[in-house]
Chains A and B, each alone.
Chain A
């Protein structure tokens, strides 16, 4: 207990320094007053005399004060004062050695930058938080089909049941994605992402509307007037932030709805939505496992935990499984934090695994970079050896000296952290969200990459660690055996040495600097391949747009007929759109395809009517022998509009669309790789149009298709793939048979035509939904962007490695020369010629750089070998002679630059006057 009391007293004194001073003064004053009064009373002295005597008796007040100040035990503060001094000294060092500051600072900033960006991005997924009031209590509920191993989203029945039964989750609700064209005040219909959501969604989100009201339960009644709540973006962009919007009627698709409210900026619940309509499933949809796919949410009841909800839901799930065995036997209800809706719910183990990997990577990078900076710091500390020895002699403990070096590193690290964090902030802003959008297309509102306080804290921890490595390590090394060094004298050659570790570090760095550009070359090659890929037609002359149609359910119709009618209508609309667009001036042709060239398609199995080709290919012969091909469904006019001539046979004709026609056109890749060069025309084959593999009798039941034509390769494989791919085309009617992309061949700039197409479609039918307008040669843009990012990252890393190795070599060499001043001087004095001296100085860095380049070259060779066996099997990775030459030139350049780093120290060495060197000996 005593120590607690002591600590408290000490703390109080420490933090209440001024209070302590005031207390001291008051006590002294009181004492003097009392003493003076006593003297006046007891000895009858005049007040002034009594006062004087009291002061004399008290002694020198200032001395007592000092004694008390000392007694406050602020050796602590003293030490802090020492740290402050060290930090100031560190700051001065930054200015005094700008080279080290820039190189070391940049390297550390790089490590901290990488660490911060990775940490932030990983944290977004590992521990996402909903930026809503009490967002951590919002949950997502779903049924998991253990048999199919996927979520069952048709859960209207369960929603109703759970809503009635559940106590641990309140405000249970659901939403559905709805895409509708919203006609803005400019009269143009544009798609908005709408959530058809239960009124409870707004209670769960607990965000009041900016204008008007949110959706209320009464809106969900089937007979209620249609209403819509607008998001801030849609309101601003489409209605010019009109404050009188509430109460106005807007056109949504082919229907009208009254705007009842506008939500505040940033509100995009439940996912990334721009508008909200009431959730109104028709009554018959709530049969078990029927109806639309929905996403359910709720809020944990006050006092309830996620585990309570899990337990309750498990009970409900069991009950449903017994009561509705036909539909619910394999369904297991689940409840999880709402944020796990995106990126999948990762378990604790996975989370720890990811975090562990991240930490390992960042720490490795940090240790690597800081190890280098430590090398530089050590070289600097070594030049200050004399100072350190003297300080030690004057009584500085080893700890004190190391602390000073740590403080210096901390100052450097602090500056580096500021730079690194600023860069991380910029990177997250510029690259973070675009990267996520390119990867996931649809990013939920709670994924917002920016510098969070946790990330800043993390960066601070990294900084301290970096300072510990770069400061303490050299400090410990330089202060080893200080005593003996003190005895050995301070002048002339010190005894600090660079060990084998530093040599290894330099060799590794040179190797990395040599090997990384090879990666860059690879990336450049990949980029160029993607960008210059010849898709077989003038893709930059085509405008493409994805065509969809809002599902407009008509009450009373049966499901299947409804779908059929809907499709037929879509087909008619697509055809009408084609004719109107084709009639526009500047349009050469219009056609449709299910997917764009160079985008991803599934692989399908084809079964040839004979197996000779497969036998020839060395594949096991059998009835089920098959090959894989990509399949495209295209409008009969596809090849004409693309300007791709039919190489053999005939093209598609409108008659091929008839149900029993069953014709196909194959591309050159198909002939080369499936038919092994034989004539395709007239050949029969079976096609598995599904994606689940089939065999045996199932294959026999498939109808035969006949190949009627051959075209050149038209980009049937996705852009990542280096090959043109293997492709088979089937004729189909746009809209009714597949959801089409429309391809418009224009004379002028295709993109200039986009708004015209939009206007035509809007006038034709407001339920036609147009999205992803782009020039066809831009389909690979996301991919190109990603590759460019990789390339930049590689370049930056190469730059950092280059910088570090150069400065490392420079530092080591300067250090060595400084150490060998006397030796060189003696040699020169004894008449050694310059060449010998240069050779002696250069031998070590030359060896290091040489080994580094050799190791780097070996790495390139090995890497290329491994890659050519795995990833790039089909595209031999072997570097072309030109690229090899480039790498050789680069290696020579590296060698030259490294040697350049030796020039200054060497000149210094040669400039040593023998007399000076000998005087150094004193």
Chain B
């Protein structure tokens, strides 16, 4: 599954991935893209540029916050962190995603 197409559902899953990644630790944009790729073993490839509008949208929605910070090799970068509202949204999203996936799985199994 790639995230290149831009339907609403997929945009939703990108949000989900970002929130999940940030729930582990605050991270800058590039780091988020890398992490998603690493964890999914390269199965999910984030279109790196379109990550930023998503981050902005999440920030405007109050789900994540951002602040300038420094990386390990001392470079200035914008770090994103999940907010309390973001954690709640993540929980709800995960729940509905799992239900959706389970439903999909059940349908696929019977046919």
A residues with CB within 8 A of B:
1-3, 5-6, 9-10, 13, 23-24, 26-28, 30-31, 33-35, 38, 57-61, 63-64, 67-68, 71-73
Q: Is the CB–CB distance between B49 and A5 below 8 Å?
A: no
**A9 contacts B52, C-beta separation under 8 Å:** no
A30 and B76 contact, Cβ closer than 8 Å, known pairs A2-B62, A57-B48: yes
A35 vs B30: C-alpha distance when bound (angstroms): 7
A30 touches B85 (CB 8 A): no
Cβ contact within 8 Å between A10 and B30: no
Interface of B is mostly: helix
Of the candidates A28, A60, A63, A71, the one having the most CB atoms from chain B within 10 angstroms of its own CB is: A71
Pairwise interchain contact B49-A64, C-beta atoms closer than 8 A: yes
Instruction: State the CA gap A57–B48 with chains docked (Å).
Output: 7
CB < 8 Å neighbour of B61 from A1, A6, A28? A6
Contacts of A6 in B (CB 8 A): 60-62
Q: How far is the CA of A64 from the CA of B29 in the complex (A)?
A: 13
Q: Is the CB of B49 within 8 A of A10?
A: no
**CB-contact partner of A68 in B52, B61, B62, under 8 A:** B52
Q: Does B77 interact with chain A (Cβ within 8 Å)?
A: yes
Residue contact B62 to A64, C-beta cutoff 8 Å: no
**Is B20 part of the binding interface, using a Cβ–Cβ cutoff of 8 Å?**
no
Contact partner of A59 (CB less than 8 A), chosen from B34, B49, B77, B83, is: B49
Given A35-B48, A38-B34, A59-B48, A27 and B85 contact (CB-CB distance below 8 Å):
no
**A31 CB contact (under 8 Å) in B30, B83, B85:** B30
- Which chain B residues in 42-56 approach chain A with CB under 8 Å? 47-50, 52-53, 56
- Distance (whole angstroms) from the CB of B92 to the closest CB of chain A: 13
Q: Is A30's CB under 8 angstroms from B30's CB? A: yes
Q: Hey, which chain B residues are within 8 Å of A3, CB to CB?
A: 62
A831 to chain B, nearest CB (A): 68
- Sampled A-B contacts (29; CB under 8 Å): A1-B62, A1-B85, A2-B61, A2-B62, A5-B62, A5-B65, A5-B85, A6-B60, A6-B61, A6-B62, A9-B59, A9-B60, A26-B76, A27-B78, A28-B49, A30-B28, A30-B29, A30-B30, A30-B78, A31-B52, A34-B30, A35-B48, A58-B48, A58-B49, A59-B49, A64-B53, A67-B53, A68-B56, A71-B57
Chain B residues within 8 Å of A28, by CB = 49, 52
B109 close to chain A: CB less than 8 A: no
A residues in contact with B85, CB < 8 Å: 1-2, 5
Most B-side CB within 10 Å, residue of A31, A33, A60: A31
- In the bound complex, residues from chain B placing their C-beta under 8 Å from that of A24 are 52
* B50/A64 in contact, CB under 8 A: yes
Given A5-B65, A30-B78, A35-B30, 16 further pairs, Cβ under 8 A? A3-B62, A6-B61, A9-B59, A27-B77, A30-B30, A31-B29, A31-B52, A38-B34, A57-B48, A58-B48, A58-B49, A59-B47, A59-B49, A71-B60, A72-B56, A73-B60
| Chain A residues within an 8 Å CB radius of B76 | 26, 30
Smallest beta-carbon distance B81→chain A, Å:
13
Nearest-neighbour CB distance to chain A for B78, whole angstroms, equals 5
A5 to B61 CA separation, bound complex (whole angstroms): 8
Which of chain A's residues has its CB closest to B88's CB?
A: A2
Complex alpha-carbon distance, A26 and B77, angstroms: 8
Instruction: List chain B residues, Cβ under 8 A from A10.
Output: 60
Minimum-distance CB pairs A-B, first 3:
A59-B49, A5-B62, A67-B53
Separation of A24 and B76 alpha carbons in the complex (Å): 13
The residue that A67 contacts in the complex, of B48, B50, B62, with Cβ under 8 A, is B50
Flag if A27 contacts B60 (CB, 8 Å). no
Chain A residue numbers with a CB within 8 Å of B65 are 5
Using CB atoms, name the residue of chain A closest to B73. Answer: A37
Number of residue pairs A-B, CB distance < 8 angstroms: 72
A1 and B29 CA atoms in complex are apart in Å by: 25
Give the chain A neighbours of B49 by CB distance below 8 A.
Answer: 28, 58-61, 63-64
Docked Cα-Cα span, A2 to B65, in Å, equals 12
How far, in Å, is A32 (CB) from chain B's closest CB?
Answer: 9
Tell me how far the C-beta of B54 lies from the nearest C-beta in chain A, rounded to whole angstroms: 9
- Docked CA distance A9–B52 (Å): 16
Residues in A whose Cβ lies below 8 Å from that of B56: 68, 71-72
Query: Which residues of the partner chain A approach B57 to less than 8 Å between Cβ atoms?
Result: 71
Nearest opposing residue in chain A for B77, CB measure: A30
Tell me, rounded to whole Å, the shortest Cβ–Cβ distance linking A126 to chain B: 47
State the CA gap A64–B49 with chains docked (Å).
6
Distance in Å: Cβ of B85 to nearest Cβ of chain A: 5
With A and B bound together, what is the CA distance between A378 and B34 in angstroms? 63
Q: Is the CB of A27 within 8 A of B48?
A: no
> What B residues does A13 contact at CB under 8 A?
60
How far is B57's CA from A13's CA once the two chains are assembled, in angstroms? Answer: 12
CA distance A71 to B60 in the complex (A): 9
A68-B53 in contact (CB<8A): yes
**Residues of chain B with a CB closer than 8 A to A5's CB:** 62, 65, 83, 85
Chain A contacts of B78 at CB under 8 A?
Answer: 23, 26-27, 30
Q: Which residues of A contact B34 (CB under 8 A)?
A: 38
Q: How far is the CA of A72 from the CA of B59 in the complex (A)?
A: 10
B76-111 CB mask vs A (1 if < 8 Å, else 0) is 111000010100000000000000000000000000
Query: Complex Cα distance A889/B28, Å?
Result: 87
CA distance A38 to B30 in the complex (A): 11
> Which among A33, A35, A71 is the interface contact of B53 at CB below 8 angstroms?
A71
CB-defined contacts of B53 to chain A, threshold 8 Å: 64, 67-68, 71
With A5-B83, A5-B85 already in contact, the answer to whether A64 and B52 are too (CB < 8 A) is yes
Question: Given A2-B85, A5-B62, A9-B59 in contact, is the A59-B50 Cβ separation under 8 Å?
Answer: yes
Docked CA distance A68–B56 (Å): 7
A63 to B47, CA, bound (A): 12
Q: B residues within 8 A CB of A60?
A: 49
Q: Chain A's nearest CB lies how many Å from the CB of B86?
A: 10
| Bound: A64/B78 CA distance, A | 17
Contacts of B60 in A (CB 8 A): 6, 9-10, 13, 71-73
From residue B30, how far is it (CB to closest CB) to chain A in Å?
Answer: 4
Which of B34, B47, B62 lies at the interface centre, i.e. has the most chain A CB atoms within 10 A of its CB? B62
A30 to B83, CA, bound (A): 24
A784 to chain B, nearest CB (A): 70
Residue of A nearest to B46 (CB): A57
Q: Which residues of A contact B50 (CB under 8 A)?
A: 59, 64, 67
- What is the bound-complex CA distance between A64 and B28, given in angstroms? 17
- Tell me the smallest distance from the CB of A24 to a CB of chain B, in Å: 7
Q: Name A31's closest neighbour in chain B (CB-CB).
A: B30
Determine whether the beta carbon of A31 is less than 8 Å from that of B48: yes
Near A by CB (< 8 A), chain B positions 10-42 give 28-30, 33-34
Closest to A33 in B: B75
Q: A534–B60 Cα gap in the complex (Å)?
A: 85
- Nearest to B61 among chain A residues (CB) is A6
Query: Shortest distance in angstroms between A620's beta carbon and chain B's nearest beta carbon?
Result: 89
Which chain B residue has the least Cβ–Cβ distance from A7? B62
**Cβ distance A61 to chain B, nearest Cβ, rounded Å:** 6
Most central of B56, B57, B59 by chain A CB within 10 Å: B56
A73 to B75, CA, bound (A): 30
A72: chain B residues at CB < 8 Å are 56, 60
Chain B residues with Cβ under 8 A from A38's Cβ? Answer: 34
A27 to chain B, nearest CB (A): 5
A920 to B36, CA, bound (A): 68
Q: Which of A2, A27, A67 contacts B29 (CB 8 A)?
A: A27
Bound Cα distance A522, B71 (Å): 89
Residues of A within 8 A of B30 (CB): 30-31, 34-35
Residue of B nearest to A4 (CB): B62
In the assembled complex, the Cα of A61 lies from the Cα of B47 at a distance in Å of: 11
**A34 contacts across to B, CB distance below 8 A:** 30
Q: In the complex, A13→B61 CA distance in Å?
A: 13
Nearest-CB residue, chain A, relative to B85: A2
How far does the alpha carbon of A694 sit from the alpha carbon of B57 in the complex, in Å?
Answer: 91
- Give chain B nearest CB distance to A366 CB in angstroms: 42
Q: Is the CB of A30 within 8 A of B48?
A: no
Minimal Cβ-Cβ distance residue in A for B89: A2
**Chain A minimum-CB-distance residue to B65:** A5
Kindly state the separation between the CA atoms of A30 and B34 in the bound complex, as whole angstroms: 14
